Amino acid sequence: MVQFTGGHLDTAFAALADPTRRGILERLARADASISELADSFRMTLTGMKKHVGVLEHADLVATEKVGRVRICRLGARRLDAEVAWIERYRQLWEARFDALDRIVEDLQHPRTNMTRRTRS
Amino acid sequence: MVQFTGGHLDTAFAALADPTRRGILERLARADASISELADSFRMTLTGMKKHVGVLEHADLVATEKVGRVRICRLGARRLDAEVAWIERYRQLWEARFDALDRIVEDLQHPRTNMTRRTRS
DNA sequence: CATAAACTGAACCACATGGTTCAGTTTACT
DNA sequence: AGTAAACTGAACCATGTGGTTCAGTTTATG
């Protein structure tokens, strides 16, 4: 065990851990926007907004392009497939774990001499 | 717009943003464990591990109980439903956004005089 | 009772975050 | 040419993170 080459998962989850950043993604899903548009949508300085966009860009959740004096921000390539995959796998383990617990509780209440493992219902 | 009461999403995503923490969850899905067991699985001090468990506990991803001198860690109540829901919704928007882009590109290549919106195929 | 195991809390460290201000630079408009 | 908009970078600030060490406390065991 001991190390978990996290890679994308780290940066993607970290990027999603901020409400402003999630807001920006929702906003960009409606339409592309400049840094200033985003900045005053979220009542924040240009500089502050640029940092958030930087984080999202670094996670490939946003892509930007400079056109004249304005930087256009659009949704990036990352579709969060790996992230959902991790969580879904975790949820399966979670369910299995609690199913097992249920079986134990039930066995304590209705013990049976046959100790072979029961199959999932 | 302007504020996004993030609540759980914040802490859950933040908790998942660390590879050690994801590792702990996977480990606990296999079986409950004490702080010391986790600590040496991940080659870390007890104190360090306790902090990680603290973060996970704070996000309801882990629940602990002290039994004698050992603290038992098990999976917590949070099944990450809200988190998956957010991401899934985002992916839908993402698809819609790129479908729209495809339509534009296609229309540029094969222009048609009828400008009514085409329905999704 | 004595010792050791297992945890806990405080204090520290280097570095990242989420913001700001201030001082530029580049580009558009008149 | 001159002004203003839009961004950019550096510096700063308070707080959080991921880890450590050290000094306890509690609980189990010989």
pTM summary value: 0.83
Q: Are residues B106 and B65 in the same domain?
A: no
Q: Are residues B70 and B88 in the same domain?
A: no
- C chain positions with any atom within 7 Å of a protein CB: 5-11, 17-22, 26-28
On chain B, the residues whose CB falls within 8 A of the CB of A26 are 90, 93
Q: What is the pLDDT of residues B64-105, one digit of tens each?
A: 999 999 999 999 999 999 999 999 999 999 998 876 665 566
Q: Are residues B88 and B116 in the same domain?
A: yes
Q: Which domain holds residue A85?
A: 81-120
Q: What is the pLDDT of residues A70-118, one digit of tens each?
A: 999 999 999 999 999 999 999 999 998 876 665 556 555 655 544 444 4
First to last CA, chain A: 32
Say which amino acid occupies A53. V
B73 touches strand C (CB under 7 A): no
Looking at A75, A94, A109, the residue that finishes a domain is: A75
Query: How deeply is B24 buried, as exposed, middle or buried, from its count of CB atoms within 10 A (0-12, 13-18, 19+)?
Result: buried
Task: For residue A66, give the CATH number of its domain.
Answer: 1.10.10.10
On chain A, the residues whose CB falls within 8 A of the CB of B62 are none
Q: Are residues A87 and A70 in the same domain?
A: no
